Structure 1
Amino acid sequence: MQTGQESDDDDDAGPRIWGGTTLTERKQARRTALLEAALDLIGEAGAAGVTMRAVCRRANLTDRYFYESFASRDELLDVLYRQVADEFLEPMTAFAETDDPSRDREFSAILVDKVLGDPRKSRLFLVEPYSSTGLGQTTISVMPVFTRLMQDHLFAYIEDPVRRRLAAVTMASGNAGMFSAWLNGSLRASRDQIVDHCAETIAAYRSLYRS
C-alpha cells in the first residue's frame, strides 16, 4: 500500500496507481473540482466571492491542492473565463462558417439558449467583466476573437476594412451589454423577445454598408 504524499507518477515501471487512478488523473480531478467550485461561488455571489479559501472549502480540498493547479485566485478566474469563452465561441464559429441568412433566427436561438443553459457561466462571461473582479485584462484579450469572427465572416462583404471593423466591434460590444443587462435583471424581456431582437440585429447589420 502506498502511504505519504503523492509523488511523480512516471518512472521506469510506468504510472503509479492509487485507488485505481494515476496521480495525473487525480490532479486533473482536483483541478476540475476547484473550477466547478469557483463556478458555484460565481453563481451565488459573483466573482468577488471567489477566494482561494472559499474555493477550497467548496471543493473540500486544502490550499496545497489549490496551488498545485493555480498560482493565484486571478489565474483560476483567467483559466475559467477562457474555458467558458470557448464554449460560447463554438456555436458562433459554426454559424459564421456557413454565413446563411436563413439561419439567423436559428443561430440567435442557439446563442440565447446557451446563455440560459448555465447561469453560472453566463454570469462569469457576460456580467462579471463589468465589475471590479480582476477580469478586465482577460476580457480584453479574449473578446477580439469574437469580433474577428464577425469581421472575417459575417461582415466579409464590407470592402472598407475600417467599416468592417466598426461593424464587428459595435455588434459584439452591443450584444455583450444587452445580455449583461438581461442577466442582471435591469433589462426585462422574455427569451423569445431576446431571440427576435438578436435575429433582427443580425439582419440589420447584414444590410449595413451594402450600398
Structure 2
Amino acid sequence: MDVSPGGGDDVPQTRRTYRGMSAEERQAERRKQLLAAGLELFGTRGITATRVDDICAEAGLTKRYFYENFSSLDELLLAVVEDVLADLTARVVPVIASSGWRNPRPMLSTFIGAMLDDPRLVRLLVIETHSGALVRQRHQFIERAIDVWLEAAPDRDRDPSLLQTQRLLAHAYAGAVGEVAVAWASGRITMSAEEIIDHLERIFRRIAPQAG
C-alpha cells in the first residue's frame, strides 16, 4: 500500500535523517573520525603497532563502520598520509613560490612550525615513510616542493647548467631538515623552533650555489 504523501509514485521521498544529518553526512563524519584516529595512532604508536581494532577503539566506532569506509588498514594509512600531505602542500608550496630560492626562512617557518606543532607529523611523514607503501607519497611531496623551489631560482634561465647542482643540494637539504625534525621529536635536540630555523637558514645560505 502506498503511504507516501498524496499516494502517488512520482512524489519524491524525503531522505531519512538522524540528529539532523543525512546518511551520507553521517558516513562522512565517521570517515573523518577514522582519519583522525589513524593520524593519532600511526603518528604515536607507529604503523606496525596499530591494528584495525585499535583504530576503531580510538574512533569510538565498530568494525562495521571501518569497513564501510576502508577495505584495509593500508587503505586508511594511505588516506591519512594523503590528507596530511595535501594540507602541508597547500601551506608550504605557496610560501616557496612567493618567497623565492634565496629566502628559505618563510618555507622553514611554515614546514618546521607544522612539524614542531604536531610531533605526530614527524613520525608519520619522516620516519614511517622511509619504507613500505608510503615511500612514493613522501617522494612525490619532496619532488613537488623542490620543483617549485627551483622554479623560483633567479639563475634558472640565465645559467641552466646550475640546475643539477641546485637540485642535488635541494635534495640534500630536504634530507637534513627531515633528520633535524626526527632528532627534535626524539628529544635529542631541545632548541626552540626559532633557534632550529636560524641554524637551518645558515646551513642553506652556506650550500646554496651562486651563478657562475
The TM-score with structure 2 as length reference comes to 0.79
Summarize deviations over 1:95-153 as a string: whole Å, max 9, x none: 222235785434433332211122222321122223x5642343234432222222322
> Which residue is 1:85 aligned to?
85
> Which residue is 2:21 aligned to?
21
> Which residue is 1:177 aligned to?
179
1: CA distance between counterparts of 2:78 and 2:54?
Answer: 17
Map 1:130-209 onto structure 2 (within 5 A).
130=130, 134-154=133-153, 157=156, 159-160=160-161, 161-205=163-207, 207-209=208-210
The letter of the residue matching 1:54 is D
Structure 1 window deviating more from structure 2 (114-123 vs 163-172): it is 163-172
Mapped contact 1:31–1:69 kept (Cα < 8 A):
yes
Moved runs in structure 1, 4+ residues, more than 6 A?
A: none
Structure 1 window deviating more from structure 2 (65-74 vs 173-182): it is 173-182
Mapped contact 1:70–1:76 kept (Cα < 8 A):
yes
1: CA distance between counterparts of 2:27 and 2:155?
Answer: 44
**What SS is found at the alignment partner of 2:209?**
coil
The letter of the residue matching 1:203 is R
Deviation at 1:12, TM superposition (A): 4.1
The TM-score with structure 1 as length reference comes to 0.79
Mapped contact 1:82–1:142 kept (Cα < 8 A):
no
Deviation at 1:39, TM superposition (A): 1.8
1: CA distance between counterparts of 2:30 and 2:23?
Answer: 11
Residue 45 of structure 2 is aligned to residue 65 of structure 1: no
Mapped contact 1:48–1:133 kept (Cα < 8 A):
no
2: CA distance between counterparts of 1:89 and 1:204?
Answer: 26
Structure 1 window deviating more from structure 2 (75-84 vs 113-122): it is 113-122
Q: 1:185 to 1:85 in 2, by over 3 A?
A: same
Map 1:30-45 onto structure 2 (within 5 A).
30-45=30-45
**What SS is found at the alignment partner of 2:48?**
helix
Q: 1:51 to 1:141 in 2, by over 3 A?
A: farther
2: CA distance between counterparts of 1:155 and 1:114?
Answer: 27
Structure 1 window deviating more from structure 2 (78-87 vs 36-45): it is 36-45
Structure whose alpha-carbon radius of gyration is higher: 2
List gaps (5 residues or longer) in structure 1. Answer: 1-10
Mapped contact 2:40–2:120 kept (Cα < 8 A):
yes
Q: 1:16 to 1:173 in 2, by over 3 A?
A: same
Q: 1:43 to 1:185 in 2, by over 3 A?
A: same
Deviation at 1:54, TM superposition (A): 0.8
List gaps (5 residues or longer) in structure 2. Answer: 1-10
The letter of the residue matching 1:149 is V
